[in-house]
C-alpha cells in the first residue's frame, strides 16, 4: 500500500496580520508627531523670531562672560572678557566689520591691567571707566578725545558700577569691600572742569535701572524707578507683579521709560507628557524654559514674546538683556550668540 500523497494547504494571511507592520509604523509616526507637537507647544520659538547679531565663537578662545552695549541699532561696543576694556572693539552688525578702540586703549595704558567698571553714556558718545586698584575714574569719547579724570577720595574704595544720569553727568558707586554693597557715590560730569563730589546714596536722584525683588506674598515684583521730587532726596518706584509662575533673571527698561522687558525661568511638563511618557519616560520629566516678556511700565499687562527650552537646569540661560536705541528691539546673549528680537 503506497504512501498517501501529502497535501499542503497554503492559507492567505488575514487582513489583520497583513496590516500589522503598517500599524506599527503608523504608531511610531504618531508618537513622533505628538512628540514634535509637544516640543512646538512647549517652545514658543523665541529664536525663530530673533536674528543673530554676533556669534562670539568668532572671538578669541579665552572669552568668558562677555559684555556689550548698543551705540546705534547696528553698531555696538563689545567687551569679550568681563571688565577687560583693553580687548574691547566696535562692531558693525550689518557690514560685520570690527574697529579696535586703539585710542581708548592708549588711555587704558595709563593704568595697570585689571578688571574695570565701565558704562556708556545714553547717547553712546562717552565711555566712563575705573580700573580696580587705581585711584581714578576716567571718561573719554570713543575716539579718545576729551579725556576727563577725577580722583577717588580714598584709593582703597572700589567702583562697583558707573551710572549715567544724563548725557554729561555720571556717578560711580563706591564700596569698601570687593563683594560689599555700595556705601556712597562719586558724582561728576564730562563738561567743564573735571571736578567731583561725594554723595550719599539716599541723596541721589538718578534714573537707575529697574530691578526685581520678592514681594510680601512671596511672588516676585519688578520695581520701576519713576521721577521724584528732588527735595525728597530719593526715588519713587512703581511696582509690577512678575508674570505668573515665573522667576525673573534680568530686567531692562526702554529709553523712553514706557516699557520693560524681563527674562524669566519656569519649569513645567511638556504637552501630552502623561501619554508619551509611557513610551519615553524622559519626556515626562519637567523641563525648564527661559522666557522673554514685555509690559508697559504703567500697568500689569505682560505679553510673552517667546521662550527657549533649556533642559532641566538653569545653566546656559539667556543673559545680558538690553534695549536697542530705537526701542523697537531687545537683545540678549544665549549660548555664545547675541540675538535681537522685535518688541512690538
Average pLDDT over residues 169-176: 85
Are 312 and 319 in contact by the 8 Å Cβ rule? The answer is no
Are 340 and 330 in contact by the 8 Å Cβ rule? The answer is yes
pLDDT at 191 exceeding the cut of 60: yes
The model's pTM is: 0.75
Confidence grade of residue 43 (pLDDT, cut at 50, 70, 90) = very low
Are 128 and 163 in contact by the 8 Å Cβ rule? The answer is no
Report the percent of the chain where pLDDT is more than 70.
70
What does the pLDDT read at residue 44? 65
What does the pLDDT read at residue 137? 92
Consecutive H or E run containing 240: strand 236-241
pLDDT at 314 exceeding the cut of 60: no
Residue 92's SS3 state is: strand
Average pLDDT over residues 39-68: 72
Confidence grade of residue 133 (pLDDT, cut at 50, 70, 90) = confident
CA distance 77 to 67: 8
Taking only the tens place, the pLDDT of each residue in 222-276 is 877 765 444 444 556 778 888 888 888 889 988 888 899 999 988 766 655 555 6
Are 319 and 333 in contact by the 8 Å Cβ rule? The answer is yes
Consecutive H or E run containing 39: helix 20-42
Average pLDDT over residues 37-49: 65
Closest CA to 54 of 320, 237, 243, 326: 320
Closest CA to 203 of 167, 240, 165, 177: 165
What does the pLDDT read at residue 205? 40
CA distance 163 to 161: 7
What does the domain layout of the chain look like in residue ranges? 38-49+207-342, 65-203
Confidence grade of residue 282 (pLDDT, cut at 50, 70, 90) = low
pLDDT at 157 exceeding the cut of 80: yes
DSSP letter for each residue of 286-329: -EEEEEEEEEETTS---EEEEEEE-TTS-TT--EEEEE-TTSSE
Are 71 and 120 in contact by the 8 Å Cβ rule? The answer is yes
CA distance 177 to 217: 33
Residue that is written with C-alpha cell 524707578 in the block: 225
Closest CA to 116 of 35, 172, 42: 172
Confidence grade of residue 166 (pLDDT, cut at 50, 70, 90) = confident
Contacts of 69 (CB under 8 A, 6+ apart): 76, 77, 119, 120, 124, 322
Lowest mean pLDDT among 100-104, 121-125, 232-236, 289-293: 232-236
Taking only the tens place, the pLDDT of each residue in 218-232 is 668 887 776 544 444
Tally of CA atoms within 13 A in the half-sphere of 3 that contains its CB: 3
Please give the C-alpha separations between residue 270 and each of 116, 154, 248, 266, in angstroms, as whole numbers: 43, 55, 21, 12
User: What is the DSSP code (8-state) at residue 166?
Assistant: S
65-203 fold:
Methylamine Dehydrogenase; Chain H (2.130.10)
Amino acid at each position: 500500500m503506497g504512501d498517501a500523497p501529502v497535501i499542503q494547504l497554503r492559507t492567505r494571511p488575514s487582513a489583520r496580520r497583513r496590516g500589522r507592520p503598517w500599524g506599527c509604523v503608523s504608531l511610531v509616526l504618531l508618537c513622533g508627531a505628538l512628540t514634535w507637537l509637544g516640543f512646538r507647544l512647549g517652545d514658543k520659538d523665541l529664536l525663530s523670531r530673533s536674528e543673530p547679531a554676533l556669534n562670539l565663537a568668532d572671538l578669541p578662545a579665552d572669552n568668558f562672560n562677555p559684555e556689550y552695549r548698543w551705540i546705534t541699532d547696528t553698531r555696538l561696543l563689545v567687551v569679550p572678557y568681563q571688565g577687560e576694556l583693553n580687548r574691547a572693539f566696535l562692531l558693525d552688525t550689518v557690514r560685520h566689520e570690527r574697529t579696535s578702540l586703539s585710542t581708548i586703549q592708549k588711555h587704558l595704558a595709563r593704568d595697570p591691567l585689571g578688571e574695570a567698571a565701565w558704562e556708556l553714556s545714553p547717547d553712546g558718545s562717552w565711555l566712563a571707566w575705573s580700573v580696580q586698584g587705581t585711584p581714578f575714574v576716567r571718561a573719554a569719547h570713543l575716539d579718545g578725545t576729551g579725556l576727563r579724570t577725577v580722583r577717588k577720595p580714598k584709593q582703597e574704595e572700589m567702583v562697583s558700577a558707573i551710572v549715567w544720569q544724563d548725557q554729561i553727568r555720571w556717578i560711580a558707586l563706591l564700596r569698601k569691600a570687593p563683594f560689599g554693597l555700595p556705601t556712597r557715590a562719586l558724582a561728576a560730569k564730562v563738561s567743564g572742569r573735571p571736578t567731583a563730589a561725594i554723595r550719599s546714596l539716599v541723596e541721589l536722584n538718578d534714573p537707575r535701572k529697574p530691578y526685581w525683588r520678592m514681594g510680601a506674598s512671596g511672588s516676585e515684583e519688578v520695581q520701576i524707578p519713576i521721577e521724584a521730587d528732588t527735595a525728597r532726596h530719593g526715588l519713587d518706584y512703581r511696582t509690577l507683579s512678575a508674570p505668573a509662575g515665573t522667576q525673573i533673571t534680568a530686567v531692562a527698561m526702554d529709553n523712553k521709560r514706557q516699557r520693560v522687558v524681563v527674562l524669566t525661568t519656569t519649569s513645567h511638563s511638556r504637552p501630552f507628557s502623561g501619554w508619551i511618557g509611557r513610551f519615553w519616560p524622559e519626556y515626562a520629566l519637567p523641563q525648564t524654559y527661559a522666557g522673554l516678556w514685555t509690559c508697559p511700565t504703567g500697568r500689569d499687562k505682560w505679553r510673552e514674546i517667546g521662550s527657549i527650552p533649556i533642559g532641566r537646569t538653569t545653566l546656559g540661560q539667556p543673559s545680558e538683556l538690553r534695549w536697542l536705541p530705537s526701542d523697537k528691539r531687545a537683545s540678549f546673549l544665549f549660548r555664545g550668540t547675541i540675538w535681537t528680537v522685535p518688541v512690538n
